[in-house]
Amino acid sequence: MRIYFRLNDEPTEIDVDPADLLVDVLRLKLGLRGARPGCLQGQCGSCTVLFNGMLAATCMIPAFRAYGAEILTIEGLMQRREYQDIDRGFERAGTRPCRFCAAGKYLSVHALLSSSSDLSDESIHDTLAGVWCRCTTHERLVRGIRYAADYRQRRRQRGG
């Protein structure tokens, strides 16, 4: 089956078996290895992408569902200025996600900062609950998210 979708802002078309998991299509057919298969039950966050603007576990998406979708992977986010805000925020907080959870953490924070200005403990907790990996401490991550929000706001005020 041939599917068409937008991947990291680029129109993409590819032949897939509709039953393949999107995480495998991204990694094995498109060479995007940032989304990693972990629990394969949508719980651990390591295979996260933004799917039509929503956080989504690619191990819970069959390939046919990607038809017409808009997908942003960690590789696509890295090309954007928003990534630098998050990266600087994490760095300032003294934390750096490992390769297993980077997709989940960066994209979750990006989704949080893009969807609302609500940085309550509840919304941050909800965001981090979707990524199981504890290679970084919770407190530093929370601090990193608040720094990232600050960097993003300052950049926007400068018109960047």
Partner 1 sequence: MADERASPESKIYFPQSLAELLQVHRRDPDALIWAGGTFILSQRTGRFAELPATVVSLQDVEELERISRTERYLELGAMVPLRQIIRLGPQNVPRALYDALRHIGPPAVAGLATLGGNLAVAGRIMTAIPVLTLLDARAELRRQGGARWLPVGRVHRADGSVDLQPYEIITRIRVPLYPWTAQVFRRFGSELSPDSDPLTFCGLARTSNRILEELRIVGSAGHPRLLRNKSMEAELVGRRLPLPDREVRQAIETYGEPGHELSSIQRDRFRRLARWFLLSLR
User: Would you count residue 33 as binding partner 1 (CB under 8 A)?
Assistant: no
What is the spatial distance between Cα 76 and Cα 71, in angstroms, rounded to a whole number? 9
Question: Taking CB under 8 A as the criterion, which residues in 104-133 touch partner 1?
Answer: 104, 108, 111, 115-116, 126-127, 129-131
Over the window 48 to 87, marking each residue x when it contacts partner 1 by CB under 8 A and - when it does not, the resulting string is: x--x--xxxx-xxxx-xx-xxx------------------
| Distances from the Cα of 109 to the Cα of 15, 66, 138, 145, angstroms | 32, 23, 13, 7
Residue number, 66 or 93, with CB nearest to partner 1: 66
Element (H, E) at 25: none
Tell me how crowded residue 129 is: count the other CB atoms within 10 A of its CB: 11
Q: What is the largest CA-CA distance in the chain?
A: 46
Region of 56 on the Ramachandran plot (φ > 0 left; ψ -120 to 50 alpha; else beta): beta
Query: Minimum distance between the CB of residue 100 and partner 1, rounded to whole angstroms?
Result: 15
Chain residues binding partner 1 by CB under 8 A are 1-3, 17-21, 24, 37, 40-43, 45, 48, 51, 54-57, 59-62, 64-65, 67-69, 104, 108, 111, 115-116, 126-127, 129-131
